[in-house]
Amino acid sequence: MIGKDLSRDRMTTRTFLTNGHYDLQLAAMDPNAKSVKHQSQQDGIESLMKALTLLRGPMLATTLITALAACSTQYAESPDRWINDMNNRAPTKSTIYICHAYSCKLKYSFHPTQKDLNALEKILANGSDTAKTERKAIGKAVQWFETRVGPLVGSDKDKGGLDLYSAGIPGQMDCIDEASNTTSLLMFAQQYGFLKHHRVVSPVARGFFLDGRYPHATAVVITKSTNKRFAVDSWKFDNGMFPAIKPLDVWMSESPTR
């Protein structure tokens, strides 16, 4: 019976998530990295499904497994495959498709007005002097975008960080939604030539319970002059707050709570 002893169920799930049976090495930075065969990925997913079912039932578990599996997959440099695998659509010059409800379960078509376009251009132009100042402007653009679309999508009340109870709720966003939306915004800006020092590449992921870390994904930009990659991660913050922007190798070494 689900929820009869919720504190115990939470402890069971927490114990699994932090000390689980995964012994899988993701090819996060090195696509040639080998997997450690302690337990197959499918067996691990089935075990995780059981643990999550204890927490909130099979429907939530299925939703979360979809998200976590996506988080654990590494993609090519182009965002196209990521967008396709999320069953989403790439932004056009007139529409940005916004993911929400976890794992891009729901989408909202946002049609920026000329006023929106002018605002985004101004934000990014103000940081166009150097790559460093442009990254700060990118963070401000993400803030502006989340604040702008929040009331439309229902994400104005979106809380940062891991919240298993919000899976499937319209307007709430997990790392998949956040990474997808930031990527879509920056692709939109890129189409208009608003990014001077960076280009947008595919989101990447880290962690799969092998070291006590939850799976987590982030949007990524790369500097045109040095090919250095930077994470643009808004997942752990409430809607409309400045995202974490840092070298991707630093982001890869962290846990989601940092």
What per-residue confidence (pLDDT) applies to 27?
A: 32
| pLDDT value for 23 | 28
Tokens 């934000």 — which residue? 123
What gap in Å lies between CA 149 and CA 77, rounded to an integer? Answer: 27
| Ranges of the chain whose pLDDT falls below 70 | 1-76, 208-214, 256-258
Residue 227: the pLDDT is 94
Task: Answer for the pair 127, 109: CB distance below 8 angstroms, yes or no.
Answer: no
Pair 98, 107: CB distance under 8 Å? yes
d(CA 121, CA 190): 10
Q: What's residue 114's pLDDT?
A: 98
Give the single-character DSSP code of 35: P
pLDDT of residue 129: 98
- Split into its structural domains, the chain has a count of 1
Q: Quote the domain boundaries for residue 94.
A: 1-258
Q: How confident is the model at residue 225, as a pLDDT?
A: 96
